Amino acid sequence: MTVFLAGGSKSGKSDLAQKVACALAAGGPLIYLATMHPTDEEDLLRIQRHIQRREGLGFQTIERERNLMDLVPQLPRDATVLLDSVTALFTNELFRPELQWVPDQTAVSRCREGLLALADRVRHAVVVSDLLFGDAARYDPDTECFRRGLGALSCILAARADTVAEVCFGLPTVWKGVLPA
């Protein structure tokens, strides 16, 4: 089963994703795939809060900022994997330091391949993403590239997922399928 959870920043989607992943795992291997590359103190504090919230839940944490396809073949087929988040993974792929922060136009396809391979590889995948592309404002070209790419990845994941939910204030609105309890 693949579950796609999306919502605004600090909407409660990560906490919900942990509950869903634990319910789906039913005692099987439980992997937390962390994708954030911390760039400041706020990022480090957010990571620490996430670590504290999953203490005692049985997650094995794997940190993977990019190149998801390199990791997927190593994941146990019977695992439940929580990937948090597509937003960070895509950001890391799109704005690579070795490209001097110029958007990498192959980032969407690399993320798509990795995310779909993950969903096909493991028993259950719970994937978290931010909703950062829905307003009508116009932004600079790099930001628009990011918003279009994240939107495209969200559409791909929503089409592939068995369950799709939008999270706001910790409350899910299920748009497709049934949210595991």
Average pLDDT across the chain, whole number: 92
Q: What is the DSSP letter of 169?
A: T
**Range picked from 24-38, 40-54, 93-107 for highest mean pLDDT:** 24-38
Distance CA 166, CA 154 (A): 11
The mean per-residue pLDDT over the stretch 129-145 comes to: 86
Helices 141-160 and 107-121 sit at what angle, rounded to 10 degrees?
20
Q: Which residues contact 162 (CB under 8 A, 6 or more apart)?
A: 1, 2, 3, 176, 177
59 found inside a domain: yes
- Structural domain containing residue 90: 2-176
- % of the chain surpassing 70 pLDDT: 99
140 found inside a domain: yes
126 found inside a domain: yes
18 found inside a domain: yes
Whole-model pTM over 0.85: yes
Number of domains composing the chain: 1
Give me the CATH number covering residue 58: 3.40.50.300
Cβ distance 29 to 60 under 8 Å?
yes
Residue 151 pLDDT greater than 90, yes or no? yes
Cβ distance 77 to 88 under 8 Å?
no
Q: What is the DSSP letter of 66?
A: S
Cα 175 to its chain centre, rounded Å, is: 18
Cβ distance 8 to 130 under 8 Å?
yes
181 found inside a domain: no
Amino acid at 69: M
Read off the tokens for 139. Answer: 């932004």
